[in-house]
Amino acid sequence: MRMRFGLLGLIASCTASADEVTYRNDIRPLWQQKCMACHGENAPSLAEFDENKEKYKQMSLGPRMDSYANLVAFVGWPDTGALMRRLDDGTNTKDHKPGNMYENLGTDEAERQKNLALFKAWVGEGGWFLGKLKEMDKATLMKMKVAE
């Protein structure tokens, strides 16, 4: 009896999270396809990148984002909003132009929109915040989902 309850509980919790966008199931594979070439393990850390931006830009390398922790740093802290500013399609940017990483989301507009929607669902619609750390409030932070 106890066993059955345990199993049912497990099944229930699996279905409950089945439609939740997670790093492991959704973002990591997309990142490998679209971002890894320039933000992978041979890319510099954010600190190294910041010290030598021009050099790395010429090598077509951005800061390393090759793990959950390294990617989340560009969502919440310390590089608050960077991922959203770069990936937004222009709907939420100040100049209404897409962020310069938007084009990397896909080869055509349909694919870019589909993959942007995935990133948005992962970060959370209410947490899709394009500002800097000093402009962010706790309510916005609490809306960031970024499930691992």
Contacting residues toward ligand HEC, per CB under 6 A? 34-35, 37-39, 57, 60-63, 74, 79, 82-83, 86-87, 100-101, 104-105
- Distance in angstroms (rounded) separating the CA atoms of residues 17 and 88: 26
How far apart are CB 144 and ligand HEC at their closest, in Å? 15
- CB-side neighbour CA atoms (13 Å) of 42: 6
Beta carbon nearer to ligand HEC, 8 or 51? 51
What are the start-end ranges of the H helices in 1-143? 2-18, 28-34, 36-39, 46-51, 53-58, 68-72, 82-87, 109-123, 138-142
**Cβ closer to ligand HEC: 11 or 37?**
37
Provide the token pair at 82.
């960077």
The residue among 17 and 25 lying less far from ligand HEC, judged by its C-beta, is: 25
CA-to-CA dists, residue 76 to 70, 111, 117, 136, angstroms: 11, 25, 18, 9
Least spacing, CB of residue 57 vs ligand HEC, in Å: 5
Nearer to ligand HEC, 86 or 145 (CB): 86
Min dist. Cβ of residue 9 to ligand HEC (A): 36
Q: What is the nearest approach in angstroms of ligand HEC to the Cβ of residue 90?
A: 16
